[in-house]
């Protein structure tokens, strides 16, 4: 076990984990952090090996999500507090229950569903740009990056689109609950209250849509499972919750991080405007270089060697996407942002193997349409000189700037 002492919860490391990760990849690629109480897996190859070994490494484990996290991170019980009772999220399911959830995800996010959603995504993106394009300046996270996925999910789930700020607030609470850091005083109670409100709202929507065959719930109710047991109301409420919590902040981070990459590099915006065909690869490179999620937890259920280190049964670990994505053994010149990188799509930001993010095609679609419309309508974007502090949200798991002020020129 490595004796190196890096404190991943230091402000500096939370703000910018890349130097820490580079040092760990070099010196202690599978590193037990006493501050966190779990292992950090930092090399690309090892991250992939852990995610593919689903016998030894479980998702959030069979226990309810909050309980599992509290076990993974016992050092400070407040650091990962225990949100309410079990949520029944897919991430915490195993075996047959997991396969049932996965079938529902695949149906909810099928290519046909996404094709039907595309005009709404373009409408939402266009409407948001209309709201600030003439002002010449915009706070991009609030006025675009968080609004797009919240409004898209609302359309998808059949919720009132106008209430998107509420869905965003609910998703933010979930994200805070698993941030891995101590929450400010009082926030924990707020998170609990938001959690209860989210669950109640979703149960009501399931009841409301249950008999309507054209609704989101009505369509998914008809999905046949391998065991022929029909979907229950609880499963469909849990599905809605997984989509809301899995699809909002992550996509916001993607849009915000990609915009920062472009606006902070002279010439990149013009290059994309001239060659919009580069947009999908630019999205992959943004996912690699500044991933929406820094990493994800796994729990070890059988003694297993990873990268020469024995991880004991019962240990928790974090697969560090943000580190694997900058592993020089996989990506030449990993620190540079290269929109034409050949293997940008080999990034691990959506996970790998059986639990690969079922929302990846939707996130990629939202990203492509957003930047197609943004580059079409904006002749130039620049970081606003004096309004940005470039601070990230305090989280070990999620990565995005708190604010991103841009100066924009309409085309």
Binding site for ligand HEM (CB under 6 A): 51, 59, 90-91, 102, 105, 242-243, 246-247, 250-251, 254, 292-293, 296, 349-351, 355, 357-359, 362-363
- Name which of 243 and 315 has its Cβ closer to ligand HEM: 243
- Cα distance between residue 243 and residue 237, in whole Å: 10
Helix, coil or strand: residue 187: helix
Task: Report the residue closest to ligand HEM, judged by CB.
Answer: 359
Q: From the CB of 293, what's the least distance to ligand HEM, in Å?
A: 5
User: DSSP states of 16-36 as a string?
Assistant: --HHHHHHHHHH-SEEEETTT
Q: From the CB of 248, what's the least distance to ligand HEM, in Å?
A: 8
- Name which of 108 and 272 has its Cβ closer to ligand HEM: 108
Residues 353 and 76: beta-carbon distance below 8 Å: no
- Name which of 359 and 394 has its Cβ closer to ligand HEM: 359
Q: From the CB of 16, what's the least distance to ligand HEM, in Å?
A: 19
- Name which of 242 and 388 has its Cβ closer to ligand HEM: 242
- Cα distance between residue 108 and residue 298, in whole Å: 25
- Cα distance between residue 338 and residue 268, in whole Å: 10
Q: Which two tokens stand for residue 23?
A: 């040092």
- Cα distance between residue 249 and residue 174, in whole Å: 10
User: Among 106, 360, 111, which Cα is nearest to 224's?
Assistant: 106
- Name which of 300 and 408 has its Cβ closer to ligand HEM: 300
Q: From the CB of 358, what's the least distance to ligand HEM, in Å?
A: 5
Strands (E), 283-355: 296-300, 304-306, 309-311, 316-319
Cα–Cα distances in angstroms (integers) from residue 335 to residues 23, 289, 290, 320, 328, in the given order: 14, 7, 10, 16, 9
Q: From the CB of 284, what's the least distance to ligand HEM, in Å?
A: 11
- Cα distance between residue 220 and residue 239, in whole Å: 10
What is the rounded (10 degree) CA torsion for 350, 351, 354, 358?
A: -20
DSSP 335: T
- Name which of 28 and 283 has its Cβ closer to ligand HEM: 283
- Name which of 102 and 225 has its Cβ closer to ligand HEM: 102
Q: From the CB of 360, what's the least distance to ligand HEM, in Å?
A: 6
Residues 282 and 339: beta-carbon distance below 8 Å: yes
- Give the gyration radius of the chain's Cα atoms: 21
- Name which of 242 and 384 has its Cβ closer to ligand HEM: 242
DSSP 296: E
- Cα distance between residue 157 and residue 215, in whole Å: 8
Q: From the CB of 385, what's the least distance to ligand HEM, in Å?
A: 29
Q: From the CB of 266, what's the least distance to ligand HEM, in Å?
A: 26
State which H helix or E strand residue 70 sits in.
helix 65-72
Q: From the CB of 376, what's the least distance to ligand HEM, in Å?
A: 22
What is the rounded (10 degree) CA torsion for 148, 296, 21, 386?
A: 20
- Name which of 58 and 408 has its Cβ closer to ligand HEM: 58
Q: From the CB of 204, what's the least distance to ligand HEM, in Å?
A: 20
- Name which of 154 and 191 has its Cβ closer to ligand HEM: 154
């Amino acid at each position: 076990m490595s004796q190196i002492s890096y404190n991943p919860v230091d402000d500096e490391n939370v703000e910018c984990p890349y130097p820490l990760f580079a040092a760990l990849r070099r010196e202690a690629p599978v590193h037990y952090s006493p501050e966190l109480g779990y292992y950090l897996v930092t090399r690309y190859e090892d991250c992939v090996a852990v995610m593919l070994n689903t016998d030894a490494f479980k998702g959030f484990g069979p226990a309810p999500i909050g309980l599992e996290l509290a076990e993974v991170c016992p050092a400070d019980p407040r650091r990962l507090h225990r949100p309410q009772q079990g949520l029944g999220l897919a991430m915490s399911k195993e075996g047959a229950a997991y396969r049932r959830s996965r079938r529902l995800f695949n149906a909810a996010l099928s290519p046909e569903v996404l094709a039907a959603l595309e005009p709404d995504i373009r409408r939402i993106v266009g409407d948001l740009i209309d709201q600030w394009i003439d002002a010449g300046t915009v706070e991009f996270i609030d006025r675009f990056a968080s609004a797009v996925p919240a409004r898209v999910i609302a359309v998808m789930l059949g919720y009132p689109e106008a209430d998107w700020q509420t869905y965003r607030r609910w998703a933010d609470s979930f994200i805070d609950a698993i941030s891995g850091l101590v929450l400010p005083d009082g926030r924990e109670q707020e998170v609990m209250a938001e959690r209860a409100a989210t669950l109640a709202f979703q149960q009501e929507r399931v009841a409301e849509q249950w008999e309507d065959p054209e609704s989101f719930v009505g369509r998914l109710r008809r999905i046949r499972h391998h065991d022929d047991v029909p979907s229950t109301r609880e499963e469909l409420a849990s599905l809605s919750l997984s989509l809301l919590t899995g699809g909002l902040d992550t996509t916001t981070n993607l849009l915000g991080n990609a915009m920062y990459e472009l606006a902070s590099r002279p010439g990149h915006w013009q290059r994309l405007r001239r060659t919009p065909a580069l947009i999908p690869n630019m999205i992959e490179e943004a996912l690699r270089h500044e991933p929406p999620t820094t990493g994800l937890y796994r729990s070890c259920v059988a003694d297993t060697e990873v990268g020469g280190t024995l991880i004991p049964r019962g240990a928790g670990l974090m697969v560090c996407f943000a580190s694997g994505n900058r592993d020089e053994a996989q990506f030449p010149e990993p620190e540079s942002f290269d929109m034409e990188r050949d293997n940008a799509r080999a990034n691990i930001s959506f996970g790998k193997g059986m639990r690969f993010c079922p929302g990846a095609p939707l996130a990629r679609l939202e990203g492509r349409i957003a930047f197609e419309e943004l580059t079409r309508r904006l002749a130039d974007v620049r970081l606003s000189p004096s309004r940005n502090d470039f601070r990230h949200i305090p989280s070990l798991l999620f990565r995005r700037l708190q604010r991103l002020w841009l100066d924009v020129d309409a085309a």
